[in-house]
Amino acid sequence: MKTPIALDLEQRILVIDGAMGTMIQQHKLSEADFRGARFAEWPVSLKGNNDVLSLTQPDIIRNIHLAYLEAGADIIETNTFSSTSVAMADYGMEALAHELNVASAQLAREAITLYLQKHPEDRRQIYVAGAIGPTNKTLSLSPDVNDPGFRALSFDALTEAYCTQIEGLYTGGADLLLIETVFDTLNAKAALVAAARVAKQLGKSLPIMISGTITDASGRTLSGQTTEAFLYSLMHAPLLSIGFNCALGAKEMRPYLEELAQKAPFFISAYPNAGLPNQFGAYDQDAHHMGHDIEDFLKAGFLNIVGGCCGTTPEHIQRIAQLARNCKPRKKPLPDSLMHLSGLEGFTLRPESNFMNIGERCNVTGSKQFLRLIKASQFEAAITVAREQVEGGAQALDINMDEGLLDSAAAMTRFLQLLAAEPDIARIPIVIDSSKWSVLEAGLKCVQGKAIVNSISLKEGTQVFLNQARHIASFGAAVVVMAFDEKGQADTLQRRIEICARAYHLLTQQAGFAPQDIILDPNIFPVATGMDEHRRNALDFFEATAWIKAHLPHAKVSGGLSNVSFSFRGNDTVREALHACFLFHAIAHGMDMGIVNPSQLIVYDSIEPELRTRVEDVLLNRRPDATERLIEWAEQLKGIKTEKLQADAAWRNASLQERITHALVKGITEYIEPTWPNAKKFLLSL
């Protein structure tokens, strides 16, 4: 059902108010003014704590709201940008967070009542948006230059703080929640999780607006995301609107707004600063000048909600309102049904896309090298494993820390937080791989992008499955479901189909999952094991894949490719041939993605024909002696090395200087050796 504001937005462009800070500054308030009588003895200086003015100088705040209403604002923002316990800690006012939000929302409501009493002829619906700032801490970046994995705040602590803020905004009478000035989508996800939690508690949900901020000229958020990645990271929530505010002013915002307007299935908002800040941090763009840039957006049809941020005044809003009245609102595009993922950049899987490679090597059970590094806490070197895969063509990275002797949740957290600091790796989406729910949960709290959770299953029944799925959905991640139920792992075609269909229907009908975010894994098992019941392992996977693609709309199919060749461990030639042939047939049956070693994938056509025949005899179960014949061939091959096109080979062949440069730039420490035992200095023996 459409909310009243959604219906309103279909008819007209709504105007959101301008800056609170600039208006407060004009009053030249003293320390004593900020404190008022109530906080006269407060041990910390309160000058600059604008939000506390809702308690100590309510008339000033109410009058600012009134000025914006007189200027034509349809949405006024509460004075609560920093009213979380996290941001209020600067003033020792953590405990006042709830009260501040209640008071500020009430002030905005009062201002609307006063305005409407004065202007009974004005029949517009006017809304109070509860302003929810990003706080002064970012969940995806370290404030400590010496430890890129450090975080000043946890996801859970921020979520708690947002819950308190949002409850206060509800109590005070806000109509909307405005999660604004988003510089890190992980912070915004915490706000979304909090909003959903409060809505459930109170049995009422307010429409949610999200507004991000692009702070550098290359078009990225502070935490490094592009517009597309920003959108995909937050698109799971049933948003009223998405847009940008603050930052570099209207003109600089244009290309990013244009992109959002094209891609987002929500209403679009923009409330920029009055131009770029000058050398004193003030804003010079007057109403006329800013109006000129805004008019361009309006005429281009980008917008549904428009207003101003830092440096804007009622004069600016009046001009913007005038312009908005004369323009038609943008029409929302219909949501597509493509799978969108993101790291720092967006990724979209289209029907015409090639097979998607998920790098398998950052897996403590799947790589002895990676296990050794993680066990020795050599996280920096472990990061190199991730980088090599990206360079080798991985389009997403599978991370698995499931090893009995490790604190897997802690290792997952640490590794993901370090990865976030590597822009060339964090570019691509993360696949959080674990068979332990606690590890998956920990991983979700570390990634700002739209990730894949790998995996859940029906092993423990419907209820556990649904609870886990709903939790994953609240973080916006896609999910891999293994074909496993209460009775065990699916090992026939029929069981694969049955379990995948059941999971798909539960996810779409009861867990609110978008079908394109469901990835079914119908179990890739080893072939040529010598066991008769394994003869159809590959064939059943292929046929299950085809069935899924034909019967479960928009669902994706994935699998762990290297599993298929476990019985040929140590024989890379046969393993690579098995992988290439398996993929060739699986893709033909509709497999969309897989966990693979991207730099070790070879081309189907390059396989020696006799080997290929023998491999396919096994995969397709074409003859009773297929396994013997492949083993026979494998024996004969032992010792012959294949020429692997390793992705790093090229730089390893370059000149010493070039190798040093490459290693320094990419932070590859693998080839550095000490010149003598316990040396403090290292020689680059590249």
Is the Cβ of residue 412 or residue 482 nearer to ligand THG in the bound state?
482
In whole angstroms, the minimum distance from the beta carbon of 69 to ligand THG comes to: 54
Contact 465, 444 (CB under 8 A): no
- Is the dihedral angle over the CA atoms 78, 81, 87, 89 positive or is it negative? negative
Contact 254, 287 (CB under 8 A): no
SS3 category, 203 = coil
Is the Cβ of residue 368 or residue 681 nearer to ligand THG in the bound state?
368
In whole angstroms, the minimum distance from the beta carbon of 559 to ligand THG comes to: 5
Contact 408, 369 (CB under 8 A): no
The secondary structure element, H or E, covering residue 441 is: helix 437-444
Is the Cβ of residue 252 or residue 433 nearer to ligand THG in the bound state?
433
For tokens 């370290």, the residue is 142
- Spatial distance between the Cα atoms of 427 and 229, rounded to a whole number of angstroms: 9
| φ and ψ of 514, to 5 deg | -70, 130
SS3 category, 35 = helix
For ligand THG, the binding residues (CB under 6 A) are 360, 363, 366-369, 400, 433, 454-455, 480, 482, 521, 524, 559-560, 562-563, 569, 595
Contact 39, 57 (CB under 8 A): no
The secondary structure element, H or E, covering residue 545 is: helix 537-551
Q: Which residues contact 168 (CB under 8 A, 6 or more apart)?
A: 80, 83, 97, 98, 99, 100, 101, 102, 105
In whole angstroms, the minimum distance from the beta carbon of 569 to ligand THG comes to: 5
Is the Cβ of residue 444 or residue 482 nearer to ligand THG in the bound state?
482
In whole angstroms, the minimum distance from the beta carbon of 544 to ligand THG comes to: 13
In whole angstroms, the minimum distance from the beta carbon of 563 to ligand THG comes to: 5
Pairing of strands 478-482, 518-521: parallel
- Is the dihedral angle over the CA atoms 373, 377, 381, 386 positive or is it negative? positive
Output Rg (C-alpha) for the chain, integer angstroms.
Answer: 28
Is the Cβ of residue 75 or residue 637 nearer to ligand THG in the bound state?
637
Is the Cβ of residue 18 or residue 522 nearer to ligand THG in the bound state?
522
Is the Cβ of residue 521 or residue 540 nearer to ligand THG in the bound state?
521
For tokens 């008071």, the residue is 103
- Spatial distance between the Cα atoms of 345 and 471, rounded to a whole number of angstroms: 24
In whole angstroms, the minimum distance from the beta carbon of 315 to ligand THG comes to: 58
Is the Cβ of residue 342 or residue 455 nearer to ligand THG in the bound state?
455
Q: Which residues contact 493 (CB under 8 A, 6 or more apart)?
A: 536, 540, 543, 544, 547
- Spatial distance between the Cα atoms of 601 and 580, rounded to a whole number of angstroms: 7
Is the Cβ of residue 220 or residue 575 nearer to ligand THG in the bound state?
575
Is the Cβ of residue 45 or residue 369 nearer to ligand THG in the bound state?
369
SS3 category, 273 = coil
In whole angstroms, the minimum distance from the beta carbon of 149 to ligand THG comes to: 24
For tokens 């900020």, the residue is 34
In whole angstroms, the minimum distance from the beta carbon of 516 to ligand THG comes to: 17
Is the Cβ of residue 266 or residue 525 nearer to ligand THG in the bound state?
525
- Tokens describing residue 316: 């600016």
Q: What is the total residue count of the chain?
A: 686
- Is the dihedral angle over the CA atoms 644, 648, 654, 656 positive or is it negative? negative
In whole angstroms, the minimum distance from the beta carbon of 9 to ligand THG comes to: 41
Pairing of strands 488-489, 484-485: antiparallel
- Spatial distance between the Cα atoms of 507 and 515, rounded to a whole number of angstroms: 8
Alpha-carbon dihedral of residues 140, 141, 147, 151, nearest 10 degrees? -60
Is the Cβ of residue 363 or residue 516 nearer to ligand THG in the bound state?
363
Is the Cβ of residue 402 or residue 460 nearer to ligand THG in the bound state?
402
- Spatial distance between the Cα atoms of 398 and 596, rounded to a whole number of angstroms: 9
In whole angstroms, the minimum distance from the beta carbon of 400 to ligand THG comes to: 6
In whole angstroms, the minimum distance from the beta carbon of 574 to ligand THG comes to: 12
Is the Cβ of residue 112 or residue 593 nearer to ligand THG in the bound state?
593
In whole angstroms, the minimum distance from the beta carbon of 443 to ligand THG comes to: 14
In whole angstroms, the minimum distance from the beta carbon of 367 to ligand THG comes to: 4
- Spatial distance between the Cα atoms of 281 and 279, rounded to a whole number of angstroms: 5
- Tokens describing residue 11: 């008819």
In whole angstroms, the minimum distance from the beta carbon of 399 to ligand THG comes to: 10
Q: What angle do CA 426, 430, 434 make, to 5 degrees?
A: 140
